[in-house]
Structure 1
Amino acid sequence: MSQLVISTLEELTKYEGTEMGVSDYHTITQEQINKFADATLDHQWIHLDAERARQETPFGATIAHGYLTVSLLPYLWLQITSIRNLKMQVNYEIETLRFNQAVTVNSRVRLRAKLLSVKNLRGIAKARLEVTLEIEDSKKPAFTGIITFLYHFNE
């Protein structure tokens, strides 16, 4: 997969209204789910107890935390585009987010992103993205939403 390289606010604005690309697939492992449970103190059995999840849920397996899938946004976004020449990047806003389907353990997910708009806030780029987390071999995505990053460029 080829990654877009962007070094200025002006370059970023050229992509307004376009699909930026699709990331590589990432496999959600039980180890990752367990570590997320420990980090967030969310140890609900649907995430951790494989046997019970197999028997008692419609998913037939443990599922990733919804917020685990959301936390992958910056990682997967960096596979689509490399924003360079930055002082910093800030996760600014989740404007909308809808969980559409549970992500079962060992599923592979990828991000599809469209740059909706870029605003210049006195040299800081406010980039709104339409994001979809796709699940391999599934018609329904894990989630859809609109998120905003702030890019503080060096120049």
Structure 2
Amino acid sequence: MTITRPYADAAGLAGTDLGFTDWLEVTQDRVDLFADATDDHQWIHVDPERANDGPFGAPIAHGFLTLSLAVKFWSELFDLDGVTTKVNYGLDKVRFISPVKVGSRVRMTATIAEVAEVPGGYQFAVDQTIEIEGGTKPAVVARGLYRFYA
């Protein structure tokens, strides 16, 4: 469920827990498309037969594919009304904790850690965790930086 707040409330949103997104299945088709887009065709991602005998027992998603899902998930969790432009400003301290096997489902939880005024708007530092359904450790932990301009 998307939490939507008015722009006037932006400065006071630090500490807001945004909850969880819906689950998303990581399919082989998605992994193959990402491999094509990035020219990263390592066999642990795109050769299911070989990957089944590999170190993870199955093909796995690229770490950067899993990380890139944060953009989709972020938009599911939060919106700020009254802005003209929204910018994915970057990331701080990204860690790939656990591999995501093809066929697994992932979701993200997030908390707005900091809000800072920037020229023309606000920058949000958001602590994001992408978890694997049934997993004991998250797939990715990162701090996303997002800017909202009025």
Task: For 1:81 and 1:32, locate their aligned partners in 2 and report how far apart those are by CA, in whole Å.
Answer: 24
RMSD over aligned Cα atoms: 1.2
Q: Following superposition of structure 1 onto structure 2, how do residues 122-133 of structure 1 map, counting pairs within 5 Å?
A: 122-133=119-130
Aligned to 2:106: 109
| SS of structure 2 residue aligned to 1:72 | helix
Checking the alignment, whether the CA contact within 8 Å between 2:12 and 2:115 is kept in structure 1 is no
User: Between Structure 1 and Structure 2, how many residues are aligned?
Assistant: 150
How far has the Cα of 1:121 moved from its partner? 1.1
How far has the Cα of 1:88 moved from its partner? 1.6
Task: For 1:12 and 1:24, locate their aligned partners in 2 and report how far apart those are by CA, in whole Å.
Answer: 25
Normalization by structure 1: what TM-score? Answer: 0.91
How far has the Cα of 1:56 moved from its partner? 2.1
Q: Residue 7 in 1 paired to residue 14 in 2?
A: no
Task: For 2:10 and 2:30, locate their aligned partners in 1 and report how far apart those are by CA, in whole Å.
Answer: 33
Task: For 2:79 and 2:119, locate their aligned partners in 1 and report how far apart those are by CA, in whole Å.
Answer: 22
Provide structure 2 residue ranges, at least 5 long, that are not aligned to the other structure: none
Normalization by structure 2: what TM-score? Answer: 0.94
Q: Residue 45 in 1 paired to residue 43 in 2?
A: yes
After superposition, the C-alpha distances for 1:51-81 in whole angstroms (9 at most, x for unaligned) are 1100122x11100000101111111111111
| SS of structure 2 residue aligned to 1:86 | coil
Task: For 2:11 and 2:19, locate their aligned partners in 1 and report how far apart those are by CA, in whole Å.
Answer: 16
Provide structure 1 residue ranges, at least 5 long, that are not aligned to the other structure: none
Q: Following superposition of structure 1 onto structure 2, how do residues 1-150 of structure 1 map, counting pairs within 5 Å?
A: 2-8=1-7, 10-57=8-55, 59-150=56-147
How far has the Cα of 1:85 moved from its partner? 2.6
How far has the Cα of 1:87 moved from its partner? 1.8
Checking the alignment, whether the CA contact within 8 Å between 2:28 and 2:103 is kept in structure 1 is yes
